[in-house]
């Protein structure tokens, strides 16, 4: 089978499209024939070495496909089941062995490309808005990168929660997409200072929560726009990691909270995975949650997919098709 692997860290050029043996499922595992793989910023973090991985390493933490075989002790899925998953590595491939407990059956009406496009980012939006800081109708939230893959979904989920949504984007075209996704107000940060504009939009009161996937370039100003006892939810670092800072700053700025969550701690148990996935995929199946696939590439073009995602040329999701 074909797979995209790295043998060292570096730029997109270190991605290798290689022949590797088809894996065989062992205890608790299922073999999935992959129909679509999601491309995410965490894949770039693995490629550049921000998060350490063993070599050779097959990239990709999200895919949808069909169960081809299962180990004898597996009962939660069976051959022929249409499934989606996120977490176990190896999704940039034609086949992957996955712990069966991590697989979720797809509703009949959900296309595997859509499932691979929404699962990781959609459940991220779900836990951020409903669990990390559960939004209430009287809340205002600030969503950075509001026209990105997570951002477009997060705007929709936040709007469904009844909160006022302020988004930041880099262009007027992206601003329109953020508004279509549910943002009440959109700040084009290349033209306006998002700190002063957020304060203006909130009458100086600030927001209850900032959802920040950008990191280094937005973190400090993000703290400045939080209301008293507000929460900074730092769930990514596309501009680089946030430098160490004095925790006393949180006191001075209003007894603020800071958290650095990850999806995999919010779907750690089978019951939580199933509950979160059922609500998300139900929204998709019912057409309540709109999924934007920006670009699809053959698996062999993973280099181009990483170049486009890393350069912020994409609006929505990037998907690889084996």
277-307 b/e with 16+ CB inside 10 Å = b?
beebbebbeeeebebbbbbbbebebbbebbe
Answer yes or no: do 147 and 249 share one domain. Answer: yes
Residue 47 belongs to a domain with what CATH number? 3.90.180.10
Average pLDDT over residues 62-77: 97
Answer yes or no: do 252 and 290 share one domain. Answer: no
CA distance 243 to 289: 35
CA distance 316 to 232: 23
Residue 239 has pLDDT above 90, yes or no: no
- Asked if residue 256 belongs to a domain, the reply is yes
CA distance 278 to 296: 25
The pLDDT value recorded for residue 280 is 97
- Asked if residue 125 belongs to a domain, the reply is no
Token look-up 């043996």 returns: 21
CA distance 164 to 156: 11
Number of domains into which the chain is organized: 2
Distance of CA 14 to CAs 19, 44, 304, 322, Å? 16, 11, 12, 19
> Which is it for strands 317-321 and 293-298: parallel, antiparallel or unpaired?
parallel
Boundary-marking domain end, from 260, 290, 306: 260
- pLDDT tens column, 191-227: 999 999 999 999 999 999 999 999 899 999 999 999 9
- Asked if residue 130 belongs to a domain, the reply is no
Answer yes or no: do 251 and 299 share one domain. Answer: no
What tokens appear for 81 in the block? 């089941």
Answer yes or no: do 6 and 100 share one domain. Answer: yes
- pLDDT tens column, 271-309: 999 999 999 999 999 999 999 898 999 999 999 999 998
- Asked if residue 186 belongs to a domain, the reply is yes
Boundary-marking domain end, from 237, 260, 283: 260
- Asked if residue 132 belongs to a domain, the reply is no
Residue 258 has pLDDT above 90, yes or no: yes
Answer yes or no: do 109 and 206 share one domain. Answer: no
DSSP state of 129: I
Rg of the chain over Cα atoms, rounded to whole angstroms, equals 20
- pLDDT tens column, 17-51: 999 999 999 999 999 999 999 999 899 999 999 88
Answer yes or no: do 44 and 94 share one domain. Answer: yes
Answer yes or no: do 218 and 238 share one domain. Answer: yes
pTM of the model: 0.92
- Asked if residue 158 belongs to a domain, the reply is yes
DSSP state of 93: B
- Asked if residue 131 belongs to a domain, the reply is no
Range of the domain at 240: 137-260
Residue 227 belongs to a domain with what CATH number? 3.40.50.720
CA distance 175 to 154: 15
Q: What share of the chain is helix, strand, coil (3-state, %, to 5)?
A: 35, 25, 40
CA distance 183 to 144: 11
Q: Measure the CA angle with vertex 266, ends 261 and 271; round to 5°.
A: 175
Token look-up 């170049």 returns: 307
- Is the Cβ–Cβ distance between 127 and 153 less than 8 Å? no
- pLDDT tens column, 179-192: 999 999 999 999 99
Boundary-marking domain end, from 207, 235, 260: 260
Token look-up 């097959």 returns: 58
Q: DSSP string of 280-307?
A: HHHHHHHTSS---EEEEEEGGGHHHHHH
Answer yes or no: do 107 and 172 share one domain. Answer: no
Answer yes or no: do 305 and 255 share one domain. Answer: no
- Asked if residue 232 belongs to a domain, the reply is yes
Answer yes or no: do 54 and 16 share one domain. Answer: yes
- Is the Cβ–Cβ distance between 154 and 128 less than 8 Å? yes
Min mean pLDDT across 106-115, 145-154, 238-247 is at 238-247
Answer yes or no: do 85 and 15 share one domain. Answer: yes
CA count, 13 A, side-chain hemisphere, 294 = 20
Answer yes or no: do 79 and 174 share one domain. Answer: no
């Amino acid at each position: 089978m074909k797979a995209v692997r790295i043998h060292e860290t570096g730029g997109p050029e270190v991605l290798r499209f290689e022949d590797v043996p088809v894996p065989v499922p062992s205890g608790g595992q299922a073999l999935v024939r992959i129909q679509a793989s999601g491309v995410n910023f965490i894949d770039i973090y693995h490629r550049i070495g921000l998060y350490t991985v063993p070599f050779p390493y097959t990239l990709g933490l999200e895919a949808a496909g069909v169960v081809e075989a299962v180990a004898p002790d597996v009962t939660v899925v069976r051959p022929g089941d249409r499934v989606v998953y996120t977490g176990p590595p190896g999704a940039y491939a034609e086949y992957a062995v996955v712990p069966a407990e991590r697989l979720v059956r797809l509703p009949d009406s959900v296309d595997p490309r859509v499932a691979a496009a929404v699962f990781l980012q959609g459940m991220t939006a779900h836990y951020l808005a409903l669990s990390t800081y559960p939004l209430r109708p009287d809340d205002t939230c600030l969503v950075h990168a509001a026209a990105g893959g997570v951002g477009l979904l997060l705007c929709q989920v936040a709007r469904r929660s009844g909160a006022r949504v302020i988004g930041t984007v880099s262009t007027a075209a992206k601003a329109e997409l953020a508004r279509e996704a549910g943002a009440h107000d959109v700040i084009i940060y290349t033209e306006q200072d998002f700190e002063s504009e957020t304060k203006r939009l909130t009458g100086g009161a600030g927001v209850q929560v900032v959802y920040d996937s950008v990191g280094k370039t937005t973190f400090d100003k993000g703290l400045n726009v939080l209301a008293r006892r507000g929460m900074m939810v730092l769930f990514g670092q596309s501009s680089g990691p946030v430098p160490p800072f004095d925790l006393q700053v949180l006191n001075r700025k209003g007894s603020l909270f800071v958290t650095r969550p990850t999806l995999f701690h919010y779907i750690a148990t089978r019951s939580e995975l199933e509950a979160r996935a059922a609500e998300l995929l139900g929204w998709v199946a019912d057409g309540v949650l709109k999924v934007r696939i920006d670009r699809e590439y053959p698996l062999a073009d993973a280099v181009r997919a990483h170049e486009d995602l890393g350069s912020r040329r994409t609006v929505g999701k990037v998907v690889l098709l084996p």
